[in-house]
Amino acid sequence: MKSYKSLVRWVVVLATLALLSVEAQYRGGGRFRRSYEFRDPELIREQEEMEKALNPEFREDVFTFARLRFDADRDYRFGGGRLWDDDVPEADLNLIFRLYEVTSLKVRPGLNFIDITTKDLDKYPFVYLASAGRVVLSDQEATALRQYLLNGGFIMADDFWGDDQWQHFHEQLKRVFPSREPVELTLDHRIFHTVFDFKKEPQIPSVGAYLRTGQSYDPGWPYYQKNQDPHYYALYDDKQRMMALICHNNHFGDGWEHEGDDESYFDSFSEPMAYPMLINILVYTITH
């Protein structure tokens, strides 16, 4: 994978990110799950390096990047293709190695997929939801998510585009919190400036769309109401703690997965947006 040109900027996050390991310990760590095989020699080497860096006596005192599994018809409303496991395994493995590589954060190696149940969710302070515009929640899952978020958990929803997918996700969100409405964030919100100072709201297109069109958004979806610009929404609890960040018209997973596929994609999106914004999100969630 291509190395960063300016890793010095990351030094400012070291002490803050270390707190994530403490919070993971408080929530009970989590079980290391190798549900997918990966054969890329470099990915294997990186994960082995991370494994060796862990202190066996504090193996559970680490940050875990947990990805939510969900059930839905793969042809549901928006066509086929992968759903919750979009961009697996490279996105997850690249991301956790970058966190390990450029911060002092102790990070669990490998893949960690969890179900939307109270038993699984309660182990992790941060969870990631891909293909958010296609998620279909059962009543039990909606209840589990509501309890998790109100009890201090945080979810990052990503990888969905256009008015139709937004409407579907909004409907599912209202099943979790019927009386709460997501609030759209503006560029002056602290989450865009916590560590890295964004001059515009970051937007990461799917790599295929970018290579075909050169645009920063995925064409082909209906953008009549919300247009094709990035939209960030926060869901707050009664104390104004952010419980969820919803990244609409964005595909952070591709920014992590395809960092080494195309130099212009890396230079335009992976390095300046996909990784820095994730760092901002992590730091914001543990300092607010």
- Predicted confidence (pLDDT) per residue in 112-148, tens digit: 999 999 999 999 999 999 999 999 999 999 999 999 9
- Predicted confidence (pLDDT) per residue in 184-237, tens digit: 999 999 999 999 999 999 999 999 999 999 999 999 999 999 999 999 999 999
Task: Please tell me the least confidently modeled range out of 16-20, 40-44, 90-94, 225-229.
Answer: 16-20
Beta bridge partners of residue 156, listed in sequence order: 128, 245
- Amino acid found at 16: T
pLDDT at 91: 96
In order of their start, the domains of the chain are 7-287 (3.40.50.12140)
Residue (of 282, 280, 15) closest to 154 by Cα position:
282
Average pLDDT over residues 159-184: 97
Neighbours of 146 (CB within 10 A): 16
**Cα 5 to Cα 258: distance, rounded to the nearest angstrom:** 17
Band of residue 28 on the pLDDT scale cut at 50, 70, 90: very low
- Which of the 8 DSSP states describes residue 250? B
Average pLDDT over residues 83-106: 91
Q: Alpha carbon of 43 to those of 108, 110, 167, 246: distances in Å? A: 14, 10, 37, 29
Burial 45-79 (b: 16+ CB within 10 A, else e): ebbeebeeebeeeeebbbbbbbbbebebeeeeebe
pLDDT at 245: 98
Distance of CA 83 to the CA centre of its chain: 14
When the pLDDT of each residue in the chain is averaged and rounded to a whole number, the result is 86
Task: Please tell me the least confidently modeled range out of 53-67, 120-134, 144-158.
Answer: 53-67
Residue (of 23, 8, 127, 17) closest to 69 by Cα position:
127
Residue whose entry in the numeric block shows the structure tokens 């001059």? 199
Burial class (CB in 10 A: 0-12, 13-18, 19+), 197: exposed
| pTM, 2 dp | 0.87
Strand, helix or coil for residue 247: strand
Beta bridge partners of residue 67, listed in sequence order: 113, 128
Band of residue 58 on the pLDDT scale cut at 50, 70, 90: confident
